[in-house]
Structure 1
Amino acid sequence: MKVEERPDPRPATGQVLVRVRAAGLNFADILARQGLYPDGPPKPCVMGYEVSGIVEAVGDDVDRNLIDKAVIAMTRFGGQAELVAVPATQVFAKPDELTFEQAAAIPVNYLTAWALLVAMGGLKKDEAVLIHNAGGGVGLAALDIAKHIGAKTFGTASTGKHEFLRARGLDHAIDYRTQDWLPVLKDLTNGRGVELVIDPLGGPSWKKSYQALRTTGRMGVFGMSVASASGIKGKIRALKAILSMPRFNPIGLMNRNKGVFGLNLGHMWGEGEKVAAWTSEIMRGVAAGWIRP
């Protein structure tokens, strides 16, 4: 990885040019850098899936009143630069309550969490949710949303993060490194399991997460972090993760009254109205104070 000088981008029709003030670093960036992200751009490339900044220029068919406005944007790579051009449909006003650094965590982390818990997961008050990697970006976003809904929250994380997570409102923290989290979770729920699991790990974790579901439970999968490693080692780990994945038969799902769904936020760019509606709900949460990036 290195810093390079390149010609400034120009906004095409329907695009906004943003001068970046802060850019997120997401797991998708890491996997793309390792050559393990299917949607990653060919190298050499600029990473960066989400940014906050100031609109410097707009292309044709875009409201010129956006110029000089503070915004957040979903970039789908290219964001870790001084300037980035993105479709206007992926740009939203930055909340005044947030710094640029805080606001840059909104587009990917909170939209992913909202889709998993609310739009697709249908989490309700008093239901139980297991958040894997609870101390990560999506995990913390999911915790904010789950607590607002009034759900009971369980999270896997290393012991060093437990105190912080409890202070953020996590009801039960489980150290996945020192114990088998599944029997611990079953014990905490009196053997019932949870209504929703969100799992970015992949591989054999998906089998255990499915086993953690109670009747009518749902599992949302949104990544395969167990495959993360550089070079040949990463490709071997990715292959092992794929081979160890469970296979979900529709008849088996039907007979067990359970559901499995997946999310790739990078494939939602064409769903502008839907993403805008989710973003509006998140912004209301920021204004109300229960979203804390």
Structure 2
Amino acid sequence: MGYDRGMRAITIPEPGGPDALVWSEVPDPQPAPGEVVVAVRASAVNRADLLQRQGHYPPPAGASAYPGLECSGVVAALGPEVTGWTVGQEVCALLAGGGYAERVAVPAGQLLPVPAGVDLVDAAALPEVACTVWSNVVQLAGLTRGETLLVHGGGSGIGTFAIQLGTALGATVLATARSAKQDRLRALGAAHLIDYREQDFVEEVRRITDGRGADVILDIMGASYLGRNVSALATGGRLVVIGMQGGRKGELDLGALLAKRASVSATALRSRPVAEKATIVTGVREQVWPLVEAGAVRPVVDRRLPLADAAQAHRLIESSDHLGKVLLTLP
């Protein structure tokens, strides 16, 4: 990827707290073969951005050093070997980094058209959650109509999308969330809400399912929930771990897993090869975008803040007081 001088981005000169984010003049990206440059209209804040800011989650080799795993905007330039996209087209994109910037170069296979009926800015709330949820809940775990899906962190960007997608696919969706967020999550389709601070989610899942358990669990907590998640699985259940907010290392009772003929998977999206990301993006465009355009699934945006105020957005995400996505916008 080549660069000229000439744009602004959020940089991280030294790891640290939210004030480590600096609004800076940086080189302007030029598209390599197979890449497109997007003039960014909005990006979204993900917890991975907070980890990167703290020095715990460096970008993959060859990716932009700036945070930001998704964006929306307008195609500004096409690299060699790119077909199917035109300059001036409104798009959103899954990124390995670089969304907190005025422009970003992205492999063409990670572009998506803005769904009909979705505002260009709000479209920035979709790529990362859509690709994460679809690839894990549908592609990997194989959620089907009539099954039960348990979503941890129901009020997050991932959670609000998973609730809607699971409901649209005909599953019964259970979610853990603070009580203050539960009414809004019911409106998104959650059939049952569990206050993880006041209730034992294993007991609640068993009660709600008449002792059967959840067929699929989408987990952002990792180690601290591992044993309880296995206990909450139904026979033949599938636990998919996509986050480690509760730690990296936990004890797994293989006997319990064997008895249930269940499975545990763990995945990351950012570090996958470009070809794998393109396959996921294609699946999202074919299977999820029609649901978005029909209104069955929509972006859930807590608020919009100027990109230069990224530190404020990070503080908000750290507080967990938001519901859905926090967007960073450019004029």
TM-score (norm: length of structure 2): 0.78
Give distance in 2, aligned partners of 1:112 and 1:52: 17
Query: Identity, % of aligned pairs?
Result: 36
Question: Once the 2 structures are TM-superposed, how far is the Cα of residue 148 of structure 1 from its aligned partner?
Answer: 1.0
- 2:289 partner letter: M
Question: Once the 2 structures are TM-superposed, how far is the Cα of residue 285 of structure 1 from its aligned partner?
Answer: 1.1
Give distance in 2, aligned partners of 1:248 and 1:13: 48
Q: Which one of 284, 290, 297 corresponds to residue 284 of structure 1?
A: 290
Structure-2 residue corresponding to 1:113: 133
Are the equivalent residues in 2 in contact too, given 1:204–1:246 (CA < 8 A)? no
Structure-2 residue corresponding to 1:131: 151
Aligned pairs for 1:95-244 (under 5 A) are 95-226=115-246, 241-243=247-249
Are the equivalent residues in 2 in contact too, given 1:74–1:90 (CA < 8 A)? yes
Cα deviation, 1:94-128, whole Å, max 9, x if unaligned, reads 12311122211111101111112211111122211
- 2:57 partner letter: Y
Give distance in 2, aligned partners of 1:27 and 1:83: 22
Give distance in 1, aligned partners of 2:165 and 2:225: 23
Q: Which one of 10, 27, 50 corresponds to residue 7 of structure 1?
A: 27
Give distance in 1, aligned partners of 2:68 and 2:80: 25
Give distance in 1, aligned partners of 2:60 and 2:35: 21
Q: How many pairs align?
A: 276
Give distance in 2, aligned partners of 1:41 and 1:4: 22
Describe the SS at the equivalent of 1:203.
Answer: helix
- 2:187 partner letter: A
Are the equivalent residues in 2 in contact too, given 1:128–1:154 (CA < 8 A)? yes
Structure-2 residue corresponding to 1:247: 252
- 1:75 partner letter: L
Stretch deviating more after TM superposition (30-39 or 204-213): 30-39
Describe the SS at the equivalent of 2:92.
Answer: strand
Q: Does 1:89 align with 2:93?
A: no
Give distance in 2, aligned partners of 1:252 and 1:37: 32
Judging changes above 3 Å, is the alpha-carbon distance between structure 1 residues 181 and 64 closer, same or farther for their aligned structure 2 residues? closer
List structure 1 segments (4+ residues) > 4 angstroms apart after TM superposition: 38-42
Structure-1 residue corresponding to 2:309: none
Higher RCO structure, 1 or 2 (CA under 8 Å, sep 6+)? 2
Question: Once the 2 structures are TM-superposed, how far is the Cα of residue 274 of structure 1 from its aligned partner?
Answer: 4.0
Are the equivalent residues in 1 in contact too, given 2:230–2:256 (CA < 8 A)? no
Structure-1 residue corresponding to 2:268: 264
What is the Cα-based RMSD across aligned positions, in Å? 2.0
Give distance in 2, aligned partners of 1:29 and 1:37: 8
Are the equivalent residues in 1 in contact too, given 2:60–2:270 (CA < 8 A)? no
Q: In proportion to residue count, which structure has more strand?
A: 2
Give distance in 1, aligned partners of 2:60 and 2:215: 33
Structure-1 residue corresponding to 2:324: none
Cα deviation, 1:219-269, whole Å, max 9, x if unaligned, reads 01111123xxxxxxxxxxxxxx234x12364x7644431111122112333
The gaps in structure 1 that reach 5 residues or longer are: 227-240
Q: Does 1:77 align with 2:81?
A: no
Judging changes above 3 Å, is the alpha-carbon distance between structure 1 residues 206 and 213 closer, same or farther for their aligned structure 2 residues? same
Are the equivalent residues in 2 in contact too, given 1:111–1:279 (CA < 8 A)? no
- 1:289 partner letter: G
Describe the SS at the equivalent of 2:265.
Answer: strand
Structure-2 residue corresponding to 1:234: none
TM-score (norm: length of structure 1): 0.88
Q: Does 1:55 align with 2:75?
A: yes
